Structure 1
């Protein structure tokens, strides 16, 4: 449902997003991770038509966001919970949005109940909301048009542990019913708990992408790099092995001996072959993005 191909964004001499490619399929939650300044928010803004790409494409349901006939019915977006009109009440905010996208008025009450904003909270002006309440209202707004896709940037900010657990269940249920979720968050353990796939970005480039279980595999996983990476990946696919990518290497769900045998049979020249050793998402994230915060501070 979401296809990002060679997406690039330049601001004069600075490259904020550099040749980023990934996809998000229906029925999955994709965790989009990276340190501050890595290009996550810029990428999401380009997908949602709020920023123009310098190169590359991003589509939702096969079309660029700006060409969607009724975007609110296709994709629900929460990029900034502070962007809502502070003078309107929560109920008014959703009612105006429902009128704009042609959603039934009854949907407003249903969603207020779903996100846990009771009658008193719904009647308060948004300026009086806590950050957690704004996040809940923003998620209700994203769900208003009954979209097939959700794009969320740090939706758990301001939520207490109970609220984070609630959001995890809501997103998992959305995906299990065939929806597509692209979720950016700095709460690594929560992403690890809910995501099916991971995309890690550092310095504007994708440094790892693939199924969560493959990327986090410890025993039996192998990192391999070949002179002809595409040919090796094709051979591994034909052999029935699951393959992800980590910082320019292939991460294969098989022991090194097996990967070496496949490579030898395919005539692939290997430049690197070693057992992968990861200790969960947090350790993988820190290893892949090591030095990014330092480089950002130096810029």
Structure 2
């Protein structure tokens, strides 16, 4: 019977995800030569070539992809076993590490922590790590966090065998206008009414994509007058009559309200960004992770009610 070495399979999976031996070694805190030795040993154990040279780099063979297809099921089963063992040893206590993008921390994570503390039965401790929406999957894959909050635009596909995704919230996008703008009080404002306005949004990445996609759905391509990614900077420029911007409801709380900015709800267009939670597949059975997911869903329901 073929000998399967889980540690070496993890090295192979990390190489697939990271693309190079050097990057794999960095993630796993190994030397590149140790990574190569592990993979050479695994190939001998399995009796199939796992890597082939392409210039100065290597790529996975078809056999390696076949091996990893089966190994993902093993990894998921081990996550489930770890979850059950954690539940046995700790009950529902312990600690859950949550990686979340900036606006999700005060809007979802903090309310979820408060909900957990208000329950009669003890809940797990929550350790928060703020990260970009795209980065949280790297942290989750590397085992640096147990649960990740991100935008659906950054999430892997539902067929990715590494993760289990849970939709949490469709966050409405409102338009920010200077208080003296001619359309600031116009009834039934639509995005198309702002087609000729100067727009403020990020130069690249998810927010650029979300803004341009919403405007294109409304029938126009927005003219980018200024580039910024921080909501404080964006709202300050709107207040100074430098342009208009789409602002997610999660990012427009009382602490960010400015007297010179009017927030208008776009009921006719209903633009949204979608927030999801992700865990490594199988880890959703961990009692602590399950409790935190439940609290996050309650926090998201509370936001929708508001």
TM over 0.5, shorter chain: no
Report which of the two has the higher share of helix. Answer: 2
RCO higher in 1 or 2 (8 Å CA, sep ≥ 6)?
A: 2
Report which of the two has the higher share of strand. Answer: 1
**Which has the larger Rg?**
2
Q: Normalised by the shorter chain, which TM-score bucket?
A: under 0.3
